[in-house]
Amino acid sequence: MAFYYDEPSRTFSEYLLIPGYTAPDCIPDNVSLKTPLVKFKKGEKPSLSLNIPLASAIMQSVSDDTMAVALAKEGGISFIYGSQPIESEAAMVARVKSYKAGFVVSDSNLKPDATLADVLETVERTGHSTIAVTEDGTGSGRLLGIVTGRDYRVSRMSTDEKVSSFMTPFEKLVTAPDTTTLKEANDIIWDHKLNSLPIIDSEQRLVYLVFRKDYDQHKENPNENLDSKKRYIVGAGINTRDYAERVPALVEAGADVLCIDSSEGYTCWQKQTIDFIREKYGDSVKVGAGNVVDRDGFMFLAEAGADFVKVGIGGGSICITRETKGIGRGQATALIEVSKARDEYYEKTGIYIPVCSDGGIVHDYHMTLALAMGADFMMLGRYFARFDESPTPKININGTYVKEYWGEGSNRARNWQRYDLGGKAKLSFEEGVDSYVTYAGSLHDNVEKSLYKVKSTMCNCGVLSIPELQKNAKITVVSSTSIVEGGYHDVMLKNK
């Protein structure tokens, strides 16, 4: 006879936190969200940590190199999506590792024989008004001039006028050599009252642009997640099929941590993948595994050697695994059981294996609940897909700006490796949908707002760190009636 659980599996929305005593020093500014990313032994510190408990999902519509840089600036981590050619994923990882804070590789470039129409199209396409004019029209060509909005007036010029006739020529530009530090570049910008400073090599080839506006932004990111060489931390997704070729390429590119991307992780193939990594690299290459939803799944991956374990099956907003296969578990219940298993394993072995809650986060307060229930950090897809930094275009539909968001198990992504059970090399049926999410603006502004809510709630609970929250939180199940009571009720809203 099948095993039946006594209790139903529950979601985050079925729980609330009970306030604790808030002391005078318990204010959001004093809250630390630092959290371990990979396993460590008792008494030691993890080799990789996060300054905020957020990771962007291993998805085509979420995590590319642009997202990785933006999230690392805030203190989190992105896992570059693995459902692409090995060379492409490795190149994205390499771009993140070679990114110099404040130094921007120009993505708006034209040849001198381009026209004003080309300038307008480039500005519309990239959203950037500073255009480098190079000999070959690339971001690393010989610099001939710069075009900004101050160099042309659409109402007084013909759109077929050549860029060479109205650009600011190289001879009139203030430039700096590629040995210039960020501090020196910013000093030049301020001394010469510039908006941007081209950084060039000895042969006049463009290397970077440094912008005045980035100076303040750089100062606003004290939580930047950096490695020992001051490079941004970045993760990368792998699968259980081509790991023998993909892992070496990603390690060579500089990936700080890998994660097996699979809808279900309690499998022999995940162990085989981890075994390969351990045999080839020992413990020097960090790899997370999952997804699981119970104690047995966690213990299996812990014994297999996973550096962190991801929890969640079917809870993502674009995931239909539960609908198509009848497999999964409510995210809150799954997280609570796996976190207990993590603590049990730690008591038994002295090795702490971080737990990542993947899926089921709908509202910001769900983040705090996930942390209180034992998650060391969270992986989010829909949340990050809404931002400027995600890979998909911003589209206007019936007056509302949206961004595209699709599941890795959708027909569009065709990431069959994620759902592979040793069968045919194709997507047999869909486990995800293709959708839109409402555009929300910049990552920085939204993450700052969401995490301020988390910190504020932690203060209501009387705690100043994630470990304190997990130890001292009081959580209650709420009835369907009290869920209704929690929103506005028995009033008529004014028209906005």
Residues forming the active site: 319, 418
Alpha-carbon distance of 33 to 35, in angstroms, equals 6
Whole-Å CA distances, 148 to 142, 192, 196:
18, 17, 10
| DSSP letter string, 308-364 | EEEE-SS-STTB-HHHHH-----HHHHHHHHHHHHHHHHHHHSEE--EEEES---SH
Please give the helix or strand (H or E) that residue 197 lies within, else none. Answer: strand 196-200
Alpha-carbon distance of 107 to 91, in angstroms, equals 16
Query: Which residues, in sequence order, are CB contacts of 74 under 8 Å at separation 6+?
Result: 51, 52, 54, 221, 223, 224, 225, 443, 444, 447, 448
**Angle, vertex CA 191, rays to CA 189 and CA 195, nearest 5:** 30
3-state secondary structure (DSSP) of residue 394: strand
State in Å, rounded, how far the first CA of the chain is from the last one: 57
Task: Confirm if 255 and 81 have CB atoms less than 8 A apart.
Answer: no
Three-class SS of 400-440: EEEEEEECCCCCCCCCHHHHCCCCCCCCCCCCECEEEEECC
Whole-Å CA distances, 322 to 196, 254, 263, 281:
51, 36, 11, 36
